[in-house]
């Protein structure tokens, strides 16, 4: 019951019920990528959108699909794959707030470094 109510009114954890119905009636599925994202467009290709498999996080859209969603490239990458250069790293989702986030050397959040401190507690005489 909670899952149904969440889909009925919630938009932050994937598509809502209303969005799914609207997409089924007015949109056409273009493709699905390796991450499970589903890409749609309307009949005259004036609107494009994506459904995420879990949390709505735009950093999970690969660069080639980002270009298609924002009309930078006209044909979907499923039809004309984007050529990657040898020096490019594969895209990575935003890790902010997770255990895989980047922490600078000396940060107390880093697991591989023991915190060093020159702090000495003050004690009154």
Q: Where are the domains of the chain?
A: 20-81
Q: Angle between the 2-9 and 17-26 helix axes, to the nearest 10 degrees?
A: 60
Burial of 45 per CB tally in 10 Å (0-12, 13-18, 19+): exposed
**Which tens digits make up the pLDDT trace of 78-101?**
888 878 788 888 777 778 887 788
pTM above 0.75, yes or no: no
pLDDT, tens digit, 9 for 90 and up, residues 44-80: 989 999 988 877 778 888 888 999 999 999 999 988 8
Mean pLDDT value of segment 12-22: 71
Residue 90: HSE in the Cβ half-sphere, 13 Å Cα cutoff: 3
Q: Which residues pair with 40 in a beta bridge?
A: 29, 49
Residue 116: pLDDT above 60? yes
């Amino acid at each position: 019951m909670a899952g149904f109510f969440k889909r009925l009114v919630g938009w932050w954890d994937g598509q809502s019920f209303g969005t799914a119905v609207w997409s089924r009636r007015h949109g056409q599925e273009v493709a699905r990528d390796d991450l499970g994202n589903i890409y749609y467009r309307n009949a005259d290709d004036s609107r494009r959108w994506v459904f995420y498999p879990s949390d709505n996080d735009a950093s999970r859209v690969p660069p080639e699909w980002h270009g298609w969603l924002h009309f930078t490239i006209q044909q979907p990458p499923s039809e004309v794959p984007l050529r990657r250069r040898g020096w490019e790293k594969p895209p990575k989702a935003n890790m902010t707030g997770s255990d895989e986030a980047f922490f600078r050397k000396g940060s107390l959040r880093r697991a591989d470094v023991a915190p060093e401190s020159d702090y000495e507690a003050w004690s009154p005489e």
